[in-house]
Structures are given as structure tokens and as C-alpha cells.
Structure 1
Amino acid sequence: MTRPLRIAVIGAGPSGFYATEALLKQTQYDVTVDLIDRLPTPYGLVRYGVAPDHQKIKSVTNIFQKIAANPKVRFLGNVNFGTDITYDDLKAHYDAIFYTVGASSDRSLGIPGEDLKGSMSATEFVAWYNGHPDYADRVMPLDVEGVAVVGVGNVAVDVSRILAKTAEELALTDTADHAIEQLKHSKVKDIYVLGRRGAAQAKFTTKELREFGELLNADVVVDPAEVQVDELSAKEMENPGTAKNVEVLQEFSKKHLEGKPRRVHLRFLVSPVEIIGTDRVEGLKIEKNKLVEQDGWIAAVGTGEFETLNVGMVLRSVGYKGVALPGVPFDARKGVIPNEGGRVKGENGVLPGEYTAGWIKRGPSGVVGTNKACAVDSVNLFLEDAANLSRVDDSNATPEAVDALLAAKGARVVTFQDWLELDKVETEKGKALGRPRVKFATVQEMLSALEPVKG
């Protein structure tokens, strides 16, 4: 066979780039890759999920940029899967498909009042302050004094830290302008971070936890009784990260409050049982828990002792889950594409030439770098299968054929060169203000900025 294998990678976040990198590095087959994303911007969670005051993590985009610069790769941005390009279109134009769309939805708490105004996922709040186009027009209920953040992972820590900082501090980051403007008028004084189990079971990393103690605008409040280590949790203290987390929390519990304008309350052994309110959130009823062992697992069970927090906003951060792609198998309970190690599974077994990587493959676990090994594993399965995969018709297996298809559907494709132009505008605007960048927050703004470029 003389032509390269044509491969589509759906989703241009970290997993999509790592899968593309692995495909380029292998030497068994000549390949070309179309990296397709519904947004005009690449990088996915790195652009829209990583906290704006954690710029160092975003430097991974330098590696992604080099991958995209390879002549065997095309970035097709602003292309929506299911409308601009369908499952059948992919099967007709590509020899193999990788789904790397991440986990863009969230898990619910399943408690009364969850649909009240002011109750939302931390995912939405993160996307809003990071300038995701889907959330750019949201008005956040920051006219309240209390906010509850349910969950004790790094995302919960991120949103709590952003709420605790001043607008002036955030104005030195790439926080979206619309978010800075609203946060400038925030009336929030108390932020409650709630974990249903103990301090030893919390999922945040020590580095992120320590940042609470460095906040200029907020005191950190910890109840000493809630960060004691019980007998059940003693074994978990053998993990150095867990031991360090507990140590930091116990240090916080001994600190004297300095009278800063805001307070971050780190609470443990409490579960939300009801969001109170008529038209909007007016309070959160929580139940105190105790730890018990169940089937070798440390579980939290309610004690029947309740407390009501005076909050007007509730952000749930209890896990991400994937969203189904039209025509692609999906396990709604697990929130992933069903797969065997990375090979996509349909009702009757593995679907030849279809693979998945990242959170949509394995669920929301690990950090940005974790997705690299995951993507490599899936690419290795493709390499095992490639010799026996059926090939699409040569007339369809060209970039030009895909371009013609997208043009016929009226898709306005944003190329990687286009993105570099947008990136240049954002960073130059930022430089003038002493910021990393000033983000375009809507698709229309991005496309309008490209008008002179596209001529």
C-alpha cells in the first residue's frame, strides 16, 4: 500500500495530542492525523480546566504545539462531531479513529434542592472563569456571603482559591475578563469546602492544599476535631502524601485567624443532605458523619446530627463523567466509552479500527501527564491491529476529501495556523497588561479576529 494510513483523533485536549504524538513516533506505518475539535482552540482541559493562577502547568502546550507543527498533522478546529462530521463520515474517510474527548460533564449529588438557582457543578464555574465559550455569558450568583464547595479534590481547591482571591490578584492571570469583572463585585466572605470522609481520605495534593495558607485575602479555618486520625485511617497515613496532607491540615487548625476579609473553612466528615431555598439557594443542610469499615473500604455513614450552612451558592465537585458522542457506543452509568484496554466495544464486541484514550476511556483519574501512558497504550493496540484493518476507499482517504465534505456542510474550519494567530493576539494583549494572555471568550470573537487573516 502506498498511501499513508488516515487517522482521525476526536478531541484536541491532552489525550488527543498524546495519541497523535504516539502515532507519529511509531515507525511501523506511515500515518497522517486529523486532530478534530468542536472549539476553534486546541488544548482542551489545559486551556479551560487548569486554574489561571497555575500557569506553570500550562507550559505543556509548548510540547503540543510542536506536535501540531508536524506536516503529517492537521488541526481541524470549530468542527462539531455529529453535525459537521458524523460517525459515518469518519468511517468513510479514515482507516482508524481515536476518541479522546475527555469528561466534560459532572456527577450530581442526588439531594433535594439541587436544581435551585445558585446550585451548579464546579465544572461550570471553572469553565466560566477560564473563558470557555459555552459559559462566557453566565452571570454567577456572587451577591452572597457564603459558598459551599462539595468535594475535596484539586478542582474543589481551585474554585475555592479563586473565590478567596481578590480581583486584583486574578487580574495578573489569564482569568477571563468577564469573570474578573464579576469577581470584582463579589460579596463572598465564607467558603466551605466539604469532605464526606476524613482528612486522610481527601484527594487534593499537598501543594494545592498549602496554597490556602498563603492566601493574602483569606484566613483558613480548620476544626481540630475534624482532622484527627482515627484507627481506621491510621493505615492510610503510611502513604507519604496522605500523611503530609493531614500534617498541613493539623497545622492550619492551630493557626490564629488574622481577620482577613474572607475565610476558607475546610470541613471533614460532613455530607450535604439538602439544598434549602425557594427560588434560589438559601442554605445547605449537612449531616455529620463517622467512618466505618465496609467490605474492606472506609465508608462515611451519617450520625443523625445536622447543621445548616448559611450559603447562597453550592458548587458540586464530586467527579466528572463523559458525554455520549452521536453514533458511538457509550456506558451511561460509568460515563465512558466502553472499551477493552482502549479498543472500543459495541454491543457485539470490539469495533475494528476504533480506539479511545484519556478520561473518556478510563474515567476521571490522574493529572494531565497521566494521559500520555494511557494514549500510548491505545496506540499500541492500534499497531497490533493495523495489518488486519480494512482500509477506506483511496479516493476518500485524503485531506482534500475531508475538506470538501466539511465545506459542503458549511463548516468554518479553524486551522492550527489560525490558532497561532489567535494565540498571538491573546498574548500580545496580555503582555500590554502584564498578564499571560487576554482570552477570547466566544467563538464569534475568535472567528471575527481571524477575518483579516482569512481575507
Structure 2
Amino acid sequence: MRHIAIIGSGPAGYYTAEAAQKLWGEDVRVDIFDMLPVPYGLIRTGVAPDHQSIKGVSKRYESTASLENVRFVGNVMIGEDISVAELQGLYDAVVLATGAPNDRPAGIPGEGLENVFGSAAFVGWYNGHPQFAKLAPNLAGKHAVVIGNGNVALDVARILTKTAAEFSGSDIVGHAFHALEKSHIEHVTILGRRGPHQIAMTPKELGELGHLVRACPRVDPADLPEEQEDLFLEPGQRKSVTHLRSYAAIPEEFRCDKPVEIEFDFFASPKAILGENGVTGIEVERTQIDADGRASGTGETYVVKADLVITAIGYKSSPIPGVPFEESAGRFANDEGRILPGLYCVGWARRGPSGTIGTNRPDGFSVVEKIAEDIGGGTGKLGRAGFDKLAEDRKLEVVTFRDWKKIEEAESARARDGSPREKFVDVDDMIKARGN
């Protein structure tokens, strides 16, 4: 019998569990640990609440979680309740699937001013992550700036500008829904150091901006390269730039029909966030792009008004004591998923924050193949029986998948009209909702 411990119950964790079950069938026991009492990681607290079709992938993970030889072990903090070294003593293999939950710092003056947030925190706020539920961003100002040219920046801009009716069908949490309903924001600037040809925005997400009820996207035609240069782009990138061209072509009189504007400010590198207590603006330097697509400053600076700033410039994994970590890459040091004997990593914890949710599936299957090479038929360790004894001795309040289903039912029962659920945003409330 083989015993596998996976730390993290997001996509990478469940794809790894699926791969182990498909390879070994009944000859493996997989325990999936999470610090929260609820599973699915990024799907629950990272994917935008108005993207319910993407969140639907959790049904696939549920089929894996429901297998008798796969177990969810929620409400267990690795490093506090149990160490990685202790897990290694109990399981044949320990796989870190912790994702990249922390914001990369912007590294510019003023980053610590009031009403400046990283996107992990801001997205966690409107998605109901317990760590960020009390963030309370001030939405009383007119100007918001989102720093970044990826899909997360688009998510933030879209969420900031939607009407209450446009959130129908979403699972945005109540505290964010009501705060956004009272928002005074009239202008959102999306800052990017490089140009339209270098964006990391996908066509679907960019296209959504063109269908917002009260907000209109704006692109300066002068920022766009000659149209024939689009032919050298990959097909997906070309579609994204086509959306930008369509936004640049929107007549001014149509823009005036909508009270909120989403402005793309390309070739713009933030140099300092301005203000004394709260943020009042961002000093920006105009950039130019060389033949290799690298941005460099031109020396020309200007100020963009800002009452709220969200940085969406990337994420990094959380270091774990005793586990080699590459600070510059924001991931665990590894050789194709191997960290140390018996210790592996997968997904963003292995690659850094790159790829889509689906990218984690081949990643999970790849690391399981390496585990199979390394442990053969197993090493005779105790696995879940050993952990259960330790949990009992330490009086850990472990949450099972069956408990999670009760929490899920309670969230569905308390949903406002038009929403699939109202998430609990407090760990104690989650545990109470599971009952006895």
C-alpha cells in the first residue's frame, strides 16, 4: 500500500490525487490537507465570482474526493498543527500543492499607503477568503487604478464597475456586493508597462468589458501598432488585440452614454504611489519597447489620479521552514517536481504562477509518475492511520469532505436571491455549520 499526503486542495492537489488513483487504484491512500475547512482553493477564492462556468470544474474534483481511498483533511495548518517533516515520517510521499497565494510586492514608494492593496487580498475580499474578509476597501473616491496587464487586472476592473443586477448568478460575498453597490468609482485605469502586443489578457476576459451595462472600455488608438503587425501574433493574442482595436474605435458620444470608464494606459510604468495617509495618485513614467519586447523608461513622467490602487503583478508561494525555496521565482526549489527525497511539489508551487487551471492536470500526472519511480510499492509507513493518531493526541478539529458538504448546503440555504451560495467568511462559522 502507498500513502500520499497532498498539501493544498486546489486544482493542482485534486489533479494529483486523481492521477494517483488512476495509476494505483485501491493500492493507494491519498490524504489532501488544507488550512481551511473548505476545499478547492483557487476555484473558491481566486476565480472571479461572476465566472461560475469556470468554478464548475469543482464537480470533477468532487468525483475524486468522493472515492474511499481519497480523503479531505481540512482545518489543518501545516507548520503549526503538524510539520512537513512529521508528514514525511508518516507518508511515502508528500506533495506541496499550495499554489501561490501571496502578492508579489510592487517594490515602489508608497506601496504601504491606505487603500492600496495587492490583488490576492482584494480578490480574496470579494471572494470571501477568511484571511481578507475584513479588508474594507474605501470605495468613496472616483478614481481606481489597477496595475497589471493580465486577466486578474481585468477581473478587478470588471468587478469594480458592474451593476448590482450584473452580479446575478454570481457568488460574490454579501459584504463586497453591498460595498460595491454603494461605490462612487467613475474611472478605472489599467496601467501596463508594455504595449497591446505584450498583454497577458485572454480574448474571453477582454471581450467581457465590451458588454458591461454602465462601463465603457477606452483605448488610445495611438497606443496600437500598425494593424499588419498583428499577423505575427499567436491566434489567441491576435484576438485579444482585436478587442483592444474595437475599443479604440468606440465613438466618443457612445462613451458619454455610460457613467464609468475603464481606460487602458499602455507604456506606463508606475514609479511611486502618492499621498500622505491615503493614496491620491500614481507617478508614472512613459516607456518604450525594444525589439525584444522589453520596456525601458523615457524620462517623461505624469500623474494618474487614484483614490484606490490594486496591484495585479503576480503571485508567489508561501515558504515553509525546512523546504528549499526560490525567492526570486516565488516557488519551491525543485527538479521537475522533486524537492527532496519523499517531498515533491506541483502546480504553481512548482512552476510559479503560470498557466491555466487545466495546466495543473498534466503537472499532477507527471509528478505522480515520478513518485511511482521513487517509492515502488510503498515503504511501509503508517499513512492516514498514523496521522489520525497524531490528530487525536493533539486534539485537532479535522474537517472531512462529508463535513464540507454540510457547510456547502448551509451556504446554499443562506444565499441571497439570484446567487448560488452565500459563503461563510469566518472559519468558526464554517465549523459550526458542519454540525455534530
Shorter chain as denominator, the TM-score bin is: over 0.9
1:352 deviation in Å? 1.5
Q: How do residues 31-46 of structure 1 correspond to structure 2 at under 5 angstroms?
A: 31-46=28-43
**Code of the aligned partner of 2:370:** L
Q: Which residue is equivalent to 2:417?
A: 433
Structure 1 stretch displaced more, 282-291 or 258-267: 258-267
Q: Deviations over 1:256-303 (max 9, x none)?
A: 21431211001211111111000111111111111113xxx3111111
Question: Among 326, 331, 335, which residue is 2:330 paired with?
Answer: 335
Instruction: Confirm or deny that 1:382 pairs with 2:366.
Output: no
Structure 1 stretch displaced more, 183-192 or 9-18: 183-192
CA distance in 2 between counterparts of 1:52 and 1:330 reads 32
- Say whether the 8 Å CA contact 1:9–1:98 is kept in structure 2: yes
Instruction: Confirm or deny that 1:163 pairs with 2:160.
Output: yes
Q: Which residue is equivalent to 1:418?
A: 403
Question: Among 234, 245, 270, which residue is 1:250 paired with?
Answer: 245
Q: How do residues 249-328 of structure 1 correspond to structure 2 at under 5 angstroms?
A: 249-256=244-251, 257-293=255-291, 297-328=292-323
Match of 1:370, SS? Answer: helix
Q: Which residue is equivalent to 1:8?
A: 5
1:388 deviation in Å? 8.4
Question: Among 89, 100, 104, which residue is 1:103 paired with?
Answer: 100
Q: Which residue is equivalent to 2:27?
A: 30
CA distance in 2 between counterparts of 1:130 and 1:69 reads 25
CA distance in 2 between counterparts of 1:408 and 1:375 reads 32
CA distance in 2 between counterparts of 1:260 and 1:31 reads 57
- Say whether the 8 Å CA contact 1:151–1:316 is kept in structure 2: yes
Match of 2:71, SS? Answer: strand
Q: Which residue is equivalent to 1:400?
A: 385
Match of 1:8, SS? Answer: strand
1:31 deviation in Å? 0.7
Q: Deviations over 1:210-237 (max 9, x none)?
A: 1111000111111111123499xx3773
Q: Which residue is equivalent to 1:348?
A: none
Q: Which residue is equivalent to 1:371?
A: 360
CA distance in 2 between counterparts of 1:391 and 1:333 reads 37
Q: 1:71 to 1:109 in 2, by over 3 A?
A: same
Total equivalences in the alignment: 433
Match of 1:20, SS? Answer: helix
Q: Deviations over 1:291-340 (max 9, x none)?
A: 113xxx31111111112111111111111111112332211221111111
**Code of the aligned partner of 1:436:** P
Query: Mind listing any 5+ residue stretches in structure 1 that lack a counterpart?
Result: 345-350
**Code of the aligned partner of 1:263:** E
Q: 1:54 to 1:412 in 2, by over 3 A?
A: same
Match of 2:32, SS? Answer: strand
CA distance in 1 between counterparts of 2:383 and 2:335 reads 29
Structure 1 stretch displaced more, 243-252 or 193-202: 243-252
Structure 2 length-normalised TM: 0.96
- Say whether the 8 Å CA contact 1:189–1:261 is kept in structure 2: yes
CA distance in 2 between counterparts of 1:112 and 1:311 reads 15
Q: Deviations over 1:40-70 (max 9, x none)?
A: 0100000000001110001111110010000
1:181 deviation in Å? 1.6
CA distance in 1 between counterparts of 2:227 and 2:293 reads 11
CA distance in 2 between counterparts of 1:398 and 1:365 reads 32
CA distance in 2 between counterparts of 1:275 and 1:440 reads 34
- Say whether the 8 Å CA contact 1:133–1:441 is kept in structure 2: yes
1:443 deviation in Å? 0.5
Q: Which residue is equivalent to 1:347?
A: none
1:389 deviation in Å? 6.8
What RMSD in Å do the two structures reach over aligned CA positions?
1.7
1:401 deviation in Å? 2.6
1:251 deviation in Å? 1.1
- Say whether the 8 Å CA contact 1:171–1:180 is kept in structure 2: no
- Say whether the 8 Å CA contact 2:288–2:296 is kept in structure 1: yes
- Say whether the 8 Å CA contact 1:165–1:215 is kept in structure 2: yes
- Say whether the 8 Å CA contact 1:200–1:229 is kept in structure 2: no
1:428 deviation in Å? 2.9
CA distance in 1 between counterparts of 2:413 and 2:116 reads 36
1:168 deviation in Å? 3.5
CA distance in 1 between counterparts of 2:388 and 2:365 reads 28
Structure 1 stretch displaced more, 103-112 or 154-163: 103-112
Q: How do residues 85-234 of structure 1 correspond to structure 2 at under 5 angstroms?
A: 85-170=82-167, 172-229=169-226, 234=229
CA distance in 2 between counterparts of 1:300 and 1:87 reads 41
**Code of the aligned partner of 2:344:** Y
Q: Which residue is equivalent to 1:240?
A: 235
Match of 1:298, SS? Answer: coil
Q: Which residue is equivalent to 1:20?
A: 17
**Code of the aligned partner of 2:426:** T
1:170 deviation in Å? 2.3
Query: Mind listing any 5+ residue stretches in structure 2 that lack a counterpart?
Result: none
1:78 deviation in Å? 0.5
